[in-house]
Structure 1
Amino acid sequence: MTTDYFQTRKQSGLSDVVESPIPPASSQARSNPLTTKVTSVLSASYADSDIRDALNLLDKRGVQNSSETRRQLRLDVQKEVIESNGDIIREFGHVAEQLKRIGLTIASLNQGCEEMKRHISAAHQETAPVLEEASELMKQKEQVEAKQQLLKAFNAHFIMSDDDIARLTSTAEPVNDKFFSLLARAKKIQNDCEILLGTENQRLGLEIMEQTSKNLNGAFQKLYRWIQREFKSLNLENPQISSAIRRALRVLAERPSLFQNCLDFFAEAREHILSDAFYTALTGTSATGEEDTSVKPIELVAHDPLRYVGDMLAWTHSATVSEREALEVLFISDGDEIAKGIQAGRDSEPWNRISDENEASDFDGLKALNELVDRDVAGVARVLRQRIGQVIQSHEETIMAYKIANLLNFYRVTFSKLLGEDSVLLESLTTLEESALRQFRILMRDHVAGLQAETHTAPPDLGPPDFLQDSLKQLTAIMKTYETSFMSLNSREADFQPILAEAFDPFMNGSEAIAKDLEAPASSIFAINCLLAARNILAPFDFNSERLLEITGNIEQYSASLVDHQYSFFRNSSALQPLLRALTSLSDTKEGLESIRTLDTFQPDALTQASQTLDNFLPSALMDAMENLKDLQSSKLAREITEEAADKFCDDFEQVEEKLIAADELLEEVDDGSAPEPLRALFPRTSAEIRVLLS
């Protein structure tokens, strides 16, 4: 349709214009509007959306492109616009009527609202005082409720009920978990009262603290009496502290005075119990006189002092270990809790700090355990001290006294590790050990004094005298006993020196006195025999090293004197002594060597006789020399002494030989045919032959 419209328009309307001839210039001026219109139409863009919409609208109306239609189109359009505007005006009239009705309704509503405002204002004026009063009452209610909650919480925290106070302080009530929880609550209340004391109302805090302190004191007194009753009902033979008692003691530690009183009561009770048990173990009957058939009395072995003392000490050690194990759970595993409790008690009882100024501020569980166990066995220690003291004084055997002292030393060291150095039992054992050692020294000195009163001579074989052999046997028993003692390696030898001074030195001094009365070499042989016997006895024990060195030095000294004796024997028996004495005054110069022949001992007859005497001596010289030392009990030492003397003799012979050879060489230099016979021809033995014969 659009295409048809354009084609029709082009053919009919516009063609006339286009095809019309160009008017003259005067007519162009009058046709400018038409030209403008045509130009406007021709210049319009048919791609414009408005034009396209207008053309689409024409297509929908079914308008034919004709001159009549084109003339009526504007009128039709205007008519349609007018009709549309009329319809709109009619519709807006209806809307206006509705708006009027709405306006009337709004006015009516406004009038109602105003009426309601007046009523509300009047009502508000009438109810305002009531509302204010109600609001005030609500605020007061909230405050009262808050105070009630605060009072309820305060009472629940700071106030204990009568039933709780009765459970806490009444001795008729048991000491159980409920008691300890109430006690913990009371302590917390007492601590929290310090906050109340910091407020303005201090009176309330003071009153509550006073009441709480009273309840706490009653609770601790109840706990104190309960622990004492429990201590009485413990198993007497093997006391085991239950968990309830351990807990009670940890809590009671917050009252150091009551805690210490409990320990004192326990120690006193245990002291009596252990003393009665020790008496039963000794006699087989209890302190009340009842016989206990299950116990073998220790007194049955009283005839054997060492076993008797050992059994008493062993029983004491067993009882002490058992007592310590029973109490170790309390003071070692619970030591920190007890220390905290005692410190808290000291802080809460400042008046006790004055008495504790000289004591350690920290609780030492191990020390407290040792002290308590020591107090428990104090009664046993007294009986032990009395019984063992009687045994020491009633027996006069030297070895027995020392064995008892060593046994006491063993248990003293053992108890020092078990109870510490500050112990009544340890002090008793130390005193008994000193008493036994003192008895040993007295008996030993009496024995030495008895020996000194007697006259002693050396045996025919120059061996150790009987008293020395007996003393060495006695010393062996002492050393074997001492070897088993608990002595430190550093002080072991030093501690044994006083024993040697009492049990060894007097007998060696006696032997030395006998040796001084003998002639040489018997005196040296006797002394060496005594020293060798002593060395053989002392050598197996490592705590005699210094004394062994001293003895070895004395043996070497006496051996040196025997070497000199054997050396003198070799020189005198071999006729070498006169030759050596004659050559001693001569020098090694030519004049000295020439003067040898002028000496009497080097004359042919005398030198020949000396050579003959040497030849007769040499075959049996070594055996004869060993015969001189036949009483020396060490053949090895006798051989060494003889060999050393023989070496010295050979050295002297070499000197004589060298002088004789030198003198003969001078003679050969001045040989005039009438020279005397060479000295070596008269004295032909050589030093090599001498060494072979004496080796």
Structure 2
Amino acid sequence: MSSETPSTLRNLPPRSSAAGGFSSPLETSSSTAKGASPLASKVTSVLSTSYSDTEFRDALSLLDQRGVSNTAETRRRIRMDLQKEVIDSNGEIISEFGRVAEQLHKIKATVDKLNASYNDMRKQIVSAHSDTEPALVEANSLLGQRKQIETKQELLEAFTHHFTMSDDELAALTMTAEPVDNCYFDALAKAKKINKDCEVLLGFEKQTLGLELMEQTSKSINLGFQKLYKWVQREFKTLNLENPHMNASMRRALRVLAERPSLFQNCLDLFAESRERIMSDSFYTALTGESSSGVEDPSTKPIDLTAHDPLRYVGDMLAWIHSATVSEREALESLFVSDGDELAKGLRSGRDAELWRLVAEDDEKDGGPAEFNPLEALNNLVDRDILGASRVLRQRVEQVIQSNEEIVPAYKLANLLEFYLVTFQKLLGPDSNLLESMKALQAEAMRQFRALVREHIATLQAEFQQTPSDLGPPSFLQESLKQLDAYMQTYDLSLANVEEREAGFESILAEAFDPFIAGCENMASAMKTPDATIFLINCRLMASVSLGKFDFTQSRLREQQAKTDAGTKELVEIQHQYFRNMSGLDSILEAVSEGKDTAKDTLQISRLSEASQRLDDFLPSAWMDAMETLRHLQDSGLAHRITEEAAELFCADFEKLEDAIIEADGDSTDDEETLGELRSAFQRTTAEIRVLLS
């Protein structure tokens, strides 16, 4: 704390009791009791002041800043100096406040002038306000009316813009001199929107405006559709299906025109008639090399002159029709299928608008009109386009069918028509006129084929009575199988389904195969056994070779193989009986098979000796003699198998005979090396027989 003590205090003289300075508390108390002096009171007050008091410290700091020296003179005058300074300062303040008062007087004068001017102006403003208030009220009223008028004007302009069409738009929509372009379609879209939005106006109490607008726009829309209808008709007459730009504009026009189903259908009818004439003329040019008007086309090779073969002639015509149909379909596909959904929507909305036109159709169908099918419409249109050419095709093909007298070409022609029948069915669907024509032509070709086959069979009746000397297949069967091969090769190239191939060829087999096999069976019925069996086996083996080449004749092949197997079994039995008869053992073997009693009566030494001698004479040439019986069987391997099976049956019978002889000898001898009497008379064994007949 001593460090913070001002320098003035540091210069004070030290306290001393001898010098009459501050006394001790005890002394002070005693002196106070006697009576306090002013100096002592002051000193006591100073000493009682705390150095930590803020005001005291500030006073000391102020003295220190004034540079007051700690002298007796200074201590005596310090109070007076300070009071003098206070008095001087107060004088300066009073002087300054005098000047402030003077300025305030000036300000008061200025404010008084301003108040006077303000009051004067206020009086003038109140007077002016009272004079202009009626004008302001009228101006506010006029401004309000102006705003209302502007709002009504904007509303009128918006209404006029939305619910009316400009002269240019009406001209683009209704004037036939104006082209059918984007401006036309935009105007038509706006007219339809106006007509639909007028329904809102009909909801108001006053419907006059809505009715008038609807009547006006409906009239404009009808005129617009009539303009579009006439434009489409003109364009259809000269339409270039290869021009993509024209197709784009025509697609849009048809999409819009579909909203009027009657006009749309009329345009399609006109287009179909136009395309039918063009296609018919093109087909006539392809046939003759010149158009129907007599104009020759040097770039065309006439089908009538280049195709001399009837089959090629019909094939070229069908190929042209198919190519033209595909090209027509591809060209028209972009007009209908690409925008099929839009056309369907347009026709649906158009039917709603023209419902009264469809009442008769609805009554006939007992239901609503069918939905628009783009693919079906395309197929119908292509079919109508090709209708004229298909009529010419039918006439030409009928002439070829009726003039043909050969069986194989007749079948190839029928199969060719069947091929294109399936092709056109996939292309145009099952209900096209072209398909009906193809069905009729194919049926006519099959009738002609069957008639020619029956005529051919009738001419072979004499040959059915002449049996070949070598028991081989007759010439008529060989010829019929060659023809059947041609039929099967042709049918194998057809488009018939795998499941239907076998059933589809059954009718051909019934006409071109069964009668000839039946003729062979009739010939065999007049022959003796085994020649009849050998003859039929030879015929069926040749037929099986032909039938086995294709998968769609397997059932008939199995039938012939089953009959061949039956004939083979019959020949095996014949050969077996031949071995029994020629060996002289038939009666003995028969007796052995009947039982022991009969065998004992038959197994006599004399009979066995005679049979043994005859067997020995037969065995050396038995195999060759048996094979000679089957010499006419054309399958030598089959003849060997038949003879082997017969020899095996004979060996089995002989083994039974051998067992019966051994059993009949009984116990006549106990010596195994000594033969019995019967065994001595008949010494041949089964093993020897097998070797000799192998």
How high is the TM-score relative to the length of structure 1?
0.91
Asked if 1:445 is matched to 2:449, the reply is no
Asked if 1:130 is matched to 2:135, the reply is yes
Distance (whole Å) between structure 1 residues aligned to residue 241 and residue 12 of structure 2: 144
Deviation at 1:273, TM superposition (A): 1.5
Residue 572 (structure 1) aligned to one of 557, 574, 581: 581
Residue 536 (structure 2) aligned to one of 519, 524, 527: 527
Q: Which residue of structure 1 lines up, in the alignment, with residue 690 of structure 2?
A: 691
Q: Which residue of structure 2 lines up, in the alignment, with residue 277 of structure 1?
A: 282
Could you say what secondary structure the match of 1:274 adopts?
A: helix
CA RMSD of superposed structures (Å): 2.9
Moved more, 108-117 or 501-510: 108-117
Distance (whole Å) between structure 2 residues aligned to residue 232 and residue 421 of structure 1: 29
Letter in 2 for 1:214: K
Residues 96-132 of structure 1: per-residue CA shift (max 9 Å, x gap)? 3333333343333333323322222222122111111
Distance (whole Å) between structure 2 residues aligned to residue 103 and residue 511 of structure 1: 158
Distance (whole Å) between structure 2 residues aligned to residue 9 and residue 332 of structure 1: 129
Letter in 1 for 2:626: A
Distance (whole Å) between structure 2 residues aligned to residue 75 and residue 239 of structure 1: 123
Moved more, 70-79 or 381-390: 70-79
Distance (whole Å) between structure 2 residues aligned to residue 238 and residue 222 of structure 1: 23
Distance 1:15 1:687, change over 3 A: farther
Query: What is the aligned-residue identity percentage?
Result: 57
Q: Which residue of structure 1 lines up, in the alignment, with residue 342 of structure 2?
A: 337
Cα contact 1:515–1:524 (8 A) shared by 2: yes
Deviation at 1:670, TM superposition (A): 11
Deviation at 1:415, TM superposition (A): 0.7
Could you say what secondary structure the match of 2:683 adopts?
A: coil
Could you say what secondary structure the match of 2:319 adopts?
A: helix
Residue 300 (structure 2) aligned to one of 295, 302, 307: 295
Question: How many residues were matched structurally?
Answer: 684
After the TM superposition, which residues 7-26 of structure 1 pair with which residues of structure 2 at under 5 Å, given as runs? 7-10=11-14, 16-18=20-22, 22=27, 25=30
Asked if 1:435 is matched to 2:436, the reply is no
Deviation at 1:335, TM superposition (A): 2.3
After the TM superposition, which residues 556-635 of structure 1 pair with which residues of structure 2 at under 5 Å, given as runs? 556-587=565-596, 592=597, 596=599, 599=601, 601-635=602-636
Residue 495 (structure 1) aligned to one of 504, 510, 533: 504
Deviation at 1:63, TM superposition (A): 3.5
Letter in 2 for 1:372: L
Deviation at 1:200, TM superposition (A): 4.6
Residues 174-194 of structure 1: per-residue CA shift (max 9 Å, x gap)? 222322232233233333333
Cα contact 1:227–1:262 (8 A) shared by 2: yes
Letter in 1 for 2:447: R
Asked if 1:466 is matched to 2:467, the reply is no
Asked if 1:261 is matched to 2:261, the reply is no
Q: Which residue of structure 1 lines up, in the alignment, with residue 638 of structure 2?
A: 637
After the TM superposition, which residues 121-200 of structure 1 pair with which residues of structure 2 at under 5 Å, given as runs? 121-200=126-205
Q: Which residue of structure 2 lines up, in the alignment, with residue 679 of structure 1?
A: 678
Distance (whole Å) between structure 2 residues aligned to residue 132 and residue 177 of structure 1: 54
How high is the TM-score relative to the length of structure 2?
0.92
Cα contact 2:16–2:22 (8 A) shared by 1: no
Cα contact 1:9–1:65 (8 A) shared by 2: no
Could you say what secondary structure the match of 1:8 adopts?
A: coil
Deviation at 1:73, TM superposition (A): 2.4
Distance (whole Å) between structure 1 residues aligned to residue 552 and residue 23 of structure 2: 161
Asked if 1:400 is matched to 2:404, the reply is no
Residue 125 (structure 2) aligned to one of 120, 125, 130: 120
Residue 433 (structure 2) aligned to one of 419, 424, 429: 424
Residues 138-157 of structure 1: per-residue CA shift (max 9 Å, x gap)? 11112222222222232233
Distance (whole Å) between structure 2 residues aligned to residue 275 and residue 89 of structure 1: 133
Distance (whole Å) between structure 1 residues aligned to residue 675 and residue 318 of structure 2: 95
Letter in 2 for 1:539: G
Letter in 1 for 2:272: A
Cα contact 1:241–1:326 (8 A) shared by 2: no
Distance (whole Å) between structure 1 residues aligned to residue 372 and residue 620 of structure 2: 89
Residues 555-603 of structure 1: per-residue CA shift (max 9 Å, x gap)? 011111111100000111112212112223323xxxx5xx85x53x432
After the TM superposition, which residues 340-419 of structure 1 pair with which residues of structure 2 at under 5 Å, given as runs? 340-351=345-356, 354=359, 355=361, 358=367, 361-419=370-428
Cα contact 1:241–1:327 (8 A) shared by 2: no
Residue 549 (structure 2) aligned to one of 534, 540, 543: 540
Asked if 1:215 is matched to 2:220, the reply is yes
Distance (whole Å) between structure 1 residues aligned to residue 213 and residue 179 of structure 2: 25
Asked if 1:664 is matched to 2:665, the reply is yes
Give the gaps of 5 or more residues in structure 2: none
Residues 642-695 of structure 1: per-residue CA shift (max 9 Å, x gap)? 111111001101101111122234222599xxx995222211111111112212
Asked if 1:73 is matched to 2:100, the reply is no
Could you say what secondary structure the match of 1:17 adopts?
A: coil
Q: Which residue of structure 2 lines up, in the alignment, with residue 321 of structure 1?
A: 326
Distance 1:636 1:114, change over 3 A: same
Deviation at 1:160, TM superposition (A): 1.7
Deviation at 1:15, TM superposition (A): 5.0
Letter in 1 for 2:496: M
Distance (whole Å) between structure 2 residues aligned to residue 125 and residue 251 of structure 1: 70
Moved more, 231-240 or 451-460: 231-240
Deviation at 1:67, TM superposition (A): 4.0
Give the gaps of 5 or more residues in structure 1: none
Distance (whole Å) between structure 2 residues aligned to residue 641 and residue 542 of structure 1: 29
Distance (whole Å) between structure 2 residues aligned to residue 287 and residue 274 of structure 1: 11
Cα contact 2:8–2:69 (8 A) shared by 1: no
